Amino acid sequence: MWGSPIKGPDPTRGMVFQDYALFPWLSVRDNIGFGPASRGLARSVVKETVDKFIDLVGLAKFANAYPHQLSGGMKQRVAIARVLANDAEIVLMDEPFGALDAMTRERLQDELLDIWQRTGLTVVFVTHSIEEAIFLADRVVVMTPGPGRIESDNPLLLSRPRDVASIEFNDIRRVMSAKLHSHHGKKAA
């Protein structure tokens, strides 16, 4: 995959949206198994895959529930599991926790880090939250407003687990905030 031109959709690239994008007529189990089943995998392989990712995201008790029966955080965990079940090597996440309450958002950040550590998955995570970017990322790319250009590319050398109250974390937060807001007052070229 790496170094090859992208010519169209591919199960190795997954997308997690802010609005969950689940199939409302499918159960949690069927939403997660949709990709593997569509690729023609044997039923036993689909079931094994679904069971693995339902357990990974902690939704075993809700495997037969439908999206309207789930909280926002649960829906987002289903969306993440669906991408992972499809053998994604890279996941693009567009403000996936933006619509969630603060406690659910923090819990899902921790769960995403756990999934990342267990799978080695590459995640490109779009967020407007400086704190979320620093908490989750190994590298933060700050973009300018439209047309979007890279303002700065910032590797984070902060050890894990990260403490949002630490001096080091907040030093980085101040630097990132200054970079993010550096374009204010500049005229577009």
Contact at 8 Å (CB) between 133 and 140? yes
The model's pTM is 0.82
Contact at 8 Å (CB) between 33 and 49? yes
Who has greater pLDDT, 68 or 3?
Answer: 68
pLDDT tops 60 at residue 187: no
pLDDT digits (tens, 9 = 90+) for 55-103: 988 899 999 999 999 998 899 889 989 988 888 888 999 998 887 888 8
Q: What is the pLDDT of residue 186?
A: 55
What is the set of domains in the chain, with CATH numbers? Answer: 10-126 (3.40.50.300), 129-183 (no CATH)
Q: If you count them, how many residues does the chain have?
A: 189
CA nearest to 54, candidates 40, 38, 70: 70
Strands (E) across the chain are located at: 13-16, 90-94, 122-126, 139-143, 150-155
Q: Please, which pLDDT band fits residue 144 given cuts at 50, 70 and 90?
A: confident
